[in-house]
Each structure stands twice: as structure tokens, then as C-alpha cells.
């Protein structure tokens, strides 16, 4: 597989806002074993200055994968050959219950080394009114 390097810079936009609900946050926190009260209890979140419960720091992965899926589909990515190489987040503010989030995925890098491909995407997540929330970078290694 040789991913076309002309795809670098290509932008993919999540077609509809992602509505962040308390239940989704709780389910995600349960799944990763995060038991902090700010992920479940509005009063605990309010005590720390948040308007509602907040999501664990890795929660935006769910949104970023949705935004990157059209890229993966376009290159016919075989997920059985993919290893997660790196993940990074740059937060402006936490993700909160009630947020309506918009995500755009840009292909930042495509390179080959030792017969493997390295694909790097950046997903910028904002509110539906344009306020920045978080940028998420992911590097996938596609094994030869």
C-alpha cells in the first residue's frame, strides 16, 4: 500500500455537530476506569468552576476518529494492519456535557519507512459557534 502523498493537506469535516451528553461522558469514563467525580457529578464539576460535567482528557478520540473516517475510507485503510503510533492533545478548554462540537481533520503527514507507512492527522475540534476546544494529533503505523 502506498498512500498518495498528494493527500497531505486534505481536509475532511464532520458533517454534523457531535452533541456531548452526560451519559456518553459517564460511559467513556467507565470504559477507561476514570472514576473522578467531575466526569459524573455536576456539583463536583461546578465546584471546580465548570458549567457541567467534563469529559476525560482522551474523550475527543471518539470525535476525531469520526472526523478522520472519510480519509481512512478513501485510502481503503486495512485496520488489521494498523498500529497506533502516537496520540497528542492540545486543549483550550475541557470538553463539557452540552457541547455541540464540530471537527475538521487534516492529513498532516504521509511517509514510508522500512516498508511501513506513517499517517499523521490533526483534528481541530471547536464548538458549533467556532470557539476552540482541543486539537488532536494521531499517528498511525500501517505495517507492510
Tell me the percentage of the chain whose pLDDT exceeds 90.
97
Please state the length of the chain: 144
CATH architecture of 5-20+55-142: Roll (3.10)
Asked whether the predicted pLDDT for residue 1 surpasses 90, the reply is no
Asked whether the predicted pLDDT for residue 2 surpasses 90, the reply is no
pLDDT class of 66 with cuts at 50, 70, 90? very high
Segment 71-102, tens digit of pLDDT: 999 999 999 999 999 999 999 999 999 999 99
Quote the CA–CA distance of 144 and 141 in Å, as a whole number: 9
The reply to whether the predicted model has a pTM over 0.75 is yes
DSSP string, the chain: ----GGGTT-EEE-SSPEEP-HHHHHHHHHHHT---GGGT-HHHHHHTT-SS-B--TTTHHHHHHHHHHHHHHHTT--GGGEEEEEEEEEESS--BTT-EEEEEEEEEEEEEETTEEEEEEEEEEEETTS-EEEEEEEEEEE--
Amino acid at each position: 500500500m502506498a498512500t498518495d502523498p498528494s493527500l497531505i493537506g486534505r481536509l475532511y469535516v464532520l458533517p454534523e455537530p457531535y452533541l456531548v451528553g452526560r451519559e456518553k461522558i459517564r460511559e467513556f469514563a467507565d470504559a477507561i476506569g476514570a472514576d473522578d467525580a467531575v466526569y459524573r457529578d455536576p456539583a463536583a464539576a461546578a465546584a471546580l468552576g465548570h458549567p457541567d460535567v467534563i469529559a476525560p482528557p482522551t474523550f475527543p478520540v471518539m470525535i476525531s476518529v469520526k472526523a478522520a473516517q472519510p480519509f481512512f475510507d478513501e485510502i481503503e485503510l486495512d485496520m488489521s494492519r494498523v498500529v497506533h503510533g502516537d496520540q497528542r492533545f492540545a486543549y483550550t478548554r475541557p470538553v463539557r456535557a452540552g457541547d455541540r462540537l464540530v471537527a475538521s481533520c487534516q492529513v498532516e503527514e504521509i511517509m514510508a519507512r522500512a516498508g511501513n507507512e506513517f499517517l499523521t492527522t490533526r483534528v481541530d475540534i471547536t464548538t458549533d459557534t467556532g470557539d476552540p476546544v482541543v486539537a488532536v494529533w494521531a499517528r498511525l503505523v500501517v505495517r507492510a
